[in-house]
Structure 1
Amino acid sequence: MGFAVISNPPKKVLLMAGVLAAVGHMSRFALLREGVGIASASLCAALLISLCSMPCARRWHIPAEMFAFPALLPMIPGMFAYKTILATMQFLGATAMSLRQELLVDIVYNGLTAFFIMCALVIGAVLPLLAFHRESPLVRGIRKLRRRGSTEG
């Protein structure tokens, strides 16, 4: 909730963003316990948060992003990014070749993990918002099919 306060949202948005963040974290944690990778679990959690933010947005007439983005902030992979920077700094000061190789592995592993988690969060947050927005091609196609069905029957 602390991250959400930065953008100064209305209190009802803040409370719902906290609930969505809790739902997202619980789902990601459950998936991680089942052996799903952290990037895949983050993608599923971000999709869930984004999908759940849409009914809230309709109910309170506020953009869904106001609910989804603050709820996603706690899932940003800060520890992986920190470990990447730390290993990079140690790599620059290391002289032993074996230590440099070990640090290089840490840099690549933590950096790629942070990158893929961030990509998963972005894709999971944006995909439902684009797909189910009123003016998206998917929603327009569904409306068109409904109109055809109601005129034929």
Structure 2
Amino acid sequence: MMNIEFITAIILDGAFAAIAAIGFAIISNPPRKAILISAFLAAVGHGLRYFLMHTHLFTMDIATASFFAAVSIGLLAIPFAKAIHCPAEVFSFPSLLPMIPGMFAYKSILALTKFMQTKDETASLQYLVDFFHNGSTTIFVLFALVVGAAIPVFIFHRQSFTATRLLKKLVKKA
């Protein structure tokens, strides 16, 4: 059974991801509805990733949990795209950006610079291990996000392009 602290942590994780997604969405100047949908999708995706990584039922690693979160964002983006006649990528991409593993990338580059600066052989081996660990984690999470977001578009190919086709027809009539 989940306790109130765990549920609160999931909600907070989703709320912070929603705030970040709003910032990323505003950059591309989408319709206002798309900004709110981006925030919702980011909250759901990031909350799901947090749940999958920290619950005793699954306890997944960050790359696998990110994959399932990206798939859920992609699946939810398609009906929203159809509803507001906007490409699904408009809200799925800003929703995925808060899940990019920036800390792992930073630690990877930091370990690489420390590896190049140190003269101690033991420390240099540890920095090299840290570089490959954090770098591979970054690459696997990014790969999981890309593949997870692309799968729903490939599965629902016709539905994902219906929103933009309808919009093009409306623009031609005007």
**TM-score range for the pair, normalised by the shorter chain length:** 0.7 to 0.9
Moved over 4 A (4+): none
**What residue ranges of structure 1 are gaps of 5+ in the alignment?**
137-153
Larger Rg: 1
Identity %: 50
Alignment of 1:22 onto 2:43: yes
Q: CA deviation at 1:6?
A: 1.3
**What residue ranges of structure 2 are gaps of 5+ in the alignment?**
1-21, 161-174
Q: 1:33-62, CA deviations, whole angstroms, 9 ceiling, x for partnerless residues?
A: 131111000000000000000000011111
For the residues of structure 1 that align with 2:40 and 2:92, how far apart are their CA atoms? 11
Alignment of 1:46-57 (within 5 A): 46-57=70-81
Question: Secondary structure of 2:91's match?
Answer: helix
For the residues of structure 1 that align with 2:116 and 2:155, how far apart are their CA atoms? 45
Structure-2-length-normalised TM-score = 0.76
Structure-1-length-normalised TM-score = 0.86
Q: Which residue of 2 aligns with 1:77?
A: 101
**Aligned letter for 1:30?**
F
**Aligned letter for 2:35?**
L
For the residues of structure 2 that align with 1:26 and 1:109, how far apart are their CA atoms? 25
- CA gap 1:74/1:91 in 2 versus in 1, 3 angstroms: same
For the residues of structure 2 that align with 1:3 and 1:84, how far apart are their CA atoms? 24
**Residue 63 of structure 2 is aligned with which of 39, 50, 74?**
39
Number of residue pairs matched by the alignment: 136
Question: Secondary structure of 2:87's match?
Answer: coil
Q: CA deviation at 1:135?
A: 8.0
